[in-house]
Structure 1
Amino acid sequence: MIKKRKVLYNILMVAGILIVLNALSSVFFLRADFTEDKRYTLDRSTKRILSEVDEPIIITLYISDDLPPDVNRTVQDFKNLLTEYNHYSKRKISFEYVNPNKNEKLEQEAIEAGIHPVPLEIREKDQLKVQRVFLGVVIQVGDEFEAIPLIKPGIAMEYTLSTLIKRLTIKDKPQIGYIMGHGEPEFAAIEQVLDELSILYDVKPVYLLSEPDLEKYKCLMLIGPTGTISPTQLGSLDNYLQKGGSLMIAMERVRGMLNEGIGVSVNTGLEKWLQNKGLYVEDSFIVDKKCGTVTVQQQGFFSFPRQINFPYLPVISRFANHSITDGIETLILQFASPIKYVGDTLMEYRPLAYTSKVSGKLMAPISFNIGRDWRTQDFLYPDLTVAATLSGTMGGNEEAKICLIGDGDFIVNGFGANKISIQKDNINLFANAIDWLSDDSGLMSLRTKGVSSRPLREITDGKVFMIKYFNFLIPVVLLIIYGAIRFRRRTLKRTKRMRPGFIK
């Protein structure tokens, strides 16, 4: 009887503990994340966005029932993510789950909200069938709403969700000025980076000769100017920096014209203006053994396209420790120029990105030879700086900032038939730089969270040779040592047996 009471007491105690823990979990949220990249931990940018939420947020999940296990796992991960969002927003997020497959009215509602069905292959009873499923989300704040048409696997959903919440809840966006009138790309040619910046900023065109007040802009952008910038206009930039302004410059110091087969210097007056501030951009073409490729037509009995390495397209994977480069893994530049600091120690100069250990530079003008046989002596300038920042007082009492990149085309996606997709890290680095210049952490740390590119660390030819022969010789040496030890032991045993009076 006593034993039964003890068992009942233990059961009731365990049940009571579970009830208390369940009640506490509804008030306090705790989650342990043991992954290396903290994929199940909300980023500090997300927490900041959620802490600033004032209005209620309604999130409607249009999710079909009876999903395959792998898809259902992704949906469950997303629901867990929403639980964390609700916790850090102080319960200002409410959820609603809708199965659009139930009736035509709900299906039409989902489609009107921007959630369209997708075909999904499902295996049932050894048969493969295609089912129309909904896997979307609608986020509503007041009368405004945004849609995520498809919940994708992976932690990129945090960036998407936080971005949309920020876009719906931000009230007064800071203004960013885009300087034009000197051959800079049109808005349509930098659409990809403008889409990223439009989340947090209101980007406006700026013409220096007609703009009376530059101080209203949190930051100014100058991207790839090719025409002359007059002393009057440069003076306007000086006045802006004297009052603590910030300037983002992607400089086109050299231009490669592949159709003509030549590369030339670009002189706009900006290069001398920057040099007076201590930033010297050489009129040289960076060449790097770690580079992108171009497509050429291989001539012969048949003509076919062929990819060849083109050192004038350096691939940058070496970065300094800075908030601008946090999480950035690979940049692809084209016809870039090296940056040097020639100023005094009163200013704070910080390089951001470097070429590889096997890089060089060629003074403009040059002639391009696609089939050139590149040799070791062509890469005699390792660790060239391709991006840097400069901060300090620039003629005034307020601290000013400049971020400089030695390539004016690295975020230009073009338009029409010439439109291309820009490397994601190119866009991320530029947007991070705008955040840093604007003194706004924004989505800086979240943009690069969960990147999947993991480039191999570059090693020298000598190291490759050593590793190759080390892997080849070590097994042979170990086998010889093992054989020598076995031979020695057998010899000793034989000698011992040959002694007089030996008894086994």
Structure 2
Amino acid sequence: MTKRKNIIYSSLVVAGLLIILNFIASVFFLRADFTEDKRYTLDRSTKRILREVEKPIIMTLYVSENLPPDVNRTVQDLKSLLTEYNHYSKRKISFEYVNPNANEDLEKEAVEAGINPVPLEVREKDQIKVQRVFLGMSIQVGDQSEIIPLIKPGIIMEYTLSTLIKRLTIKNKPKVGYIIGHGEPELAKMEQAIKELSILYDIEPVSLLSQSNLTDYKSLLLIGPMATISTSQFRRLDNYLAQGGNLFIAIERVNGMLNDGIGVSVDTGLEKWLLLKGIHVDDSFIVDKKCGTVTVHQQGYFSFPQQINFPFLPVISNFSNHSITDGLETVVLQFASPISYLGDTLLEYKPLAYTSSISGKLKAPISFNIGRVWRTHDFLFPEITVAATLKGKMGGEKEARICVIGDGNFIVNGVGDQKITIQPDNINFIANAIDWLSDDSGLMSLRTKGVESRPLNELTDGKVFMLKYLNFLLPLVLLITYGLIRFRRRSLRRSKRMKPGFIK
């Protein structure tokens, strides 16, 4: 009887402890994340967005059952993520899970929401079958909604979810002005950048000649001007900065015309205006051994395309510690120019990005030779600054900010047949820069979460030569050394045996 009482007592104690632990877990959310990039920990930007949620958010996950393990793992991670979102939003987010394959009504509901089935290969009993599955979700706030038509396996969903929530809950977007009238690229040619910036800001074209009040804009963008900017327009920019304005400049100091085989300097007056602020942008072409490639067609009996390294396309992976560059891995530039600071210490100058340790610069004008053999003496200027910020009082009592990068085309996609896809970190750079200029953390730290690029370090020609012959000669040297040691030991043993009185 006593033993039975002990069992009942122990069971009650265990049950009580489980109830208490469950209550504590429902009040205090705790999760351990041991991944290098903290992919299972909500970013500070996400937590800030969720704290600012006022209206209830309804998330509906349309997912089929019996999915392959890799896809199902992504779905389970998403469900755990939604639980965290609900916690940090103080229960303002509710979510439900729907299996559209269960019946026709649910399938119709998913399709009407904008989520269509996709074919997915599933292995069953050593056979591969293709079945129609649903992998999407909708997010609704009031009468507004956004959808994720396809949840791609293996991707981190936090940025997508937080972006859509921010877009649905933001009240009044700050205005960012895009300066036009000097040969700048059209907004349509910067599709990726404008799409990203439009999440948090309203992008509007601005003419310095006709716009009445520049202070309406949180920041101004001046991207790749090619025509002369008048003194009166620079005066307007000075007045804007004196009132605490913020300016992002992508300057096209040199122009590489590959079709003509030449590269020339560009003079718009912007370079002189920046020099008055202490920022010198040299009319030189940066060359870097760590670079992108161009496609050339080799001629012979057959014509075939070949990828050739082109040092005029520097690949930037060396960044300083700054909120703009937080999490960036790789920015690719084209025909970039060096940036340096010649001003005084009254303003705070901060370099943001540098070339590799094997880089150089060529003064414009130059002639391009795709087949040029690059030597060590072509890369005598390591770690050239290609982007920087300037902060302080610029003619007024309020603090102004400038961010400048020495490439006017680093976010230009182009249009039609000339359209290209821009490196994601190029877009992240300008988006983070506008957030910093506008004094808004926005999605700054979240944009680069989960981005992993681990490029190989570039080696100098001397190191390559040394490693090449070290790999070739070292095994031979070790083998010869081992042979000499064995020969010496055997010689000593033979001499010892030949001595009088030797007994084995």
Task: Report the TM-score range of the alignment, normalised by the length of the smaller protein.
Answer: over 0.9
The answer to whether the Cα contact below 8 Å between 1:283 and 1:363 also exists between their aligned partners in 2 is: yes
Q: Which residue of 2 aligns with 1:65?
A: 65
Instruction: Report the CA distance shift for 1:85/1:357 in structure 2 as closer, same or farther (over 3 A).
Output: same
Post-superposition CA distance 1:435-458 (Å, at most 9, x none)? 000001110000000002221233
Instruction: Report the CA distance shift for 1:343/1:481 in structure 2 as closer, same or farther (over 3 A).
Output: same
Q: What runs of 5+ residues in structure 2 fail to find an aligned partner?
A: none
Please provide the CA RMSD for this pair.
2.6
| Residue 407 (structure 2) pairs with residue 416 (structure 1) | no
The answer to whether the Cα contact below 8 Å between 1:287 and 1:361 also exists between their aligned partners in 2 is: yes
Letter in 1 for 2:58: I
1:218-229 equivalences under 5 Å are 218-229=218-229
Q: Distance in 2 between matches of 1:478 and 1:141?
A: 72
Q: Distance in 2 between matches of 1:122 and 1:489?
A: 66
The answer to whether the Cα contact below 8 Å between 2:289 and 2:458 also exists between their aligned partners in 1 is: no
**What's the secondary structure of 2:53's corresponding residue?**
coil
Q: Which residue of 2 aligns with 1:434?
A: 434
TM-score w.r.t. length of structure 1: 0.94
Q: Which residue of 2 aligns with 1:247?
A: 247
Post-superposition CA distance 1:299-321 (Å, at most 9, x none)? 00011111111111111111111
| Residue 147 (structure 2) pairs with residue 151 (structure 1) | no
Q: Distance in 2 between matches of 1:461 and 1:81?
A: 48
1:103-502 equivalences under 5 Å are 103-466=103-466
Instruction: Report the CA distance shift for 1:11/1:185 in structure 2 as closer, same or farther (over 3 A).
Output: same
**What's the secondary structure of 2:216's corresponding residue?**
coil
The answer to whether the Cα contact below 8 Å between 1:314 and 1:332 also exists between their aligned partners in 2 is: yes
**What's the secondary structure of 2:252's corresponding residue?**
coil
Q: Which deviates the most, 308-317 or 41-50?
A: 308-317
1:8-157 equivalences under 5 Å are 8-157=8-157
Q: Distance in 2 between matches of 1:472 and 1:417?
A: 48
The answer to whether the Cα contact below 8 Å between 1:331 and 1:426 also exists between their aligned partners in 2 is: yes
Post-superposition CA distance 1:395-454 (Å, at most 9, x none)? 111111110000000000011221111000000001000000000111000000000222
Cα shift at 1:125:
2.1
The answer to whether the Cα contact below 8 Å between 2:376 and 2:461 also exists between their aligned partners in 1 is: no
Q: Distance in 1 between matches of 2:19 and 2:485?
A: 66
Q: Which deviates the most, 100-109 or 220-229?
A: 100-109
Letter in 1 for 2:417: A
Q: Distance in 1 between matches of 2:314 and 2:43?
A: 31
The answer to whether the Cα contact below 8 Å between 2:179 and 2:220 also exists between their aligned partners in 1 is: yes
Cα shift at 1:495:
12
State the number of aligned residues: 504
Q: Distance in 2 between matches of 1:190 and 1:172?
A: 24
Q: Which deviates the most, 326-335 or 488-497?
A: 488-497
Post-superposition CA distance 1:458-485 (Å, at most 9, x none)? 3334444555666677777888999999
Q: What runs of 5+ residues in structure 1 fail to find an aligned partner?
A: none
**What's the secondary structure of 1:23's corresponding residue?**
helix
Letter in 1 for 2:327: G
Instruction: Report the CA distance shift for 1:479/1:27 in structure 2 as closer, same or farther (over 3 A).
Output: farther
Q: Distance in 2 between matches of 1:371 and 1:490?
A: 58
The answer to whether the Cα contact below 8 Å between 2:291 and 2:309 also exists between their aligned partners in 1 is: yes
Post-superposition CA distance 1:251-301 (Å, at most 9, x none)? 011111111111111111111000011011111111111111111111000
Q: Distance in 2 between matches of 1:16 and 1:478?
A: 69
The answer to whether the Cα contact below 8 Å between 2:39 and 2:156 also exists between their aligned partners in 1 is: no
**What's the secondary structure of 2:214's corresponding residue?**
coil
Identity %: 75
Q: Distance in 2 between matches of 1:55 and 1:503?
A: 100
**What's the secondary structure of 1:215's corresponding residue?**
helix
Letter in 1 for 2:267: N
The answer to whether the Cα contact below 8 Å between 1:39 and 1:155 also exists between their aligned partners in 2 is: no
Cα shift at 1:5:
3.5
Cα shift at 1:195:
0.3
**What's the secondary structure of 2:410's corresponding residue?**
coil
Q: Distance in 1 between matches of 2:195 and 2:337?
A: 27
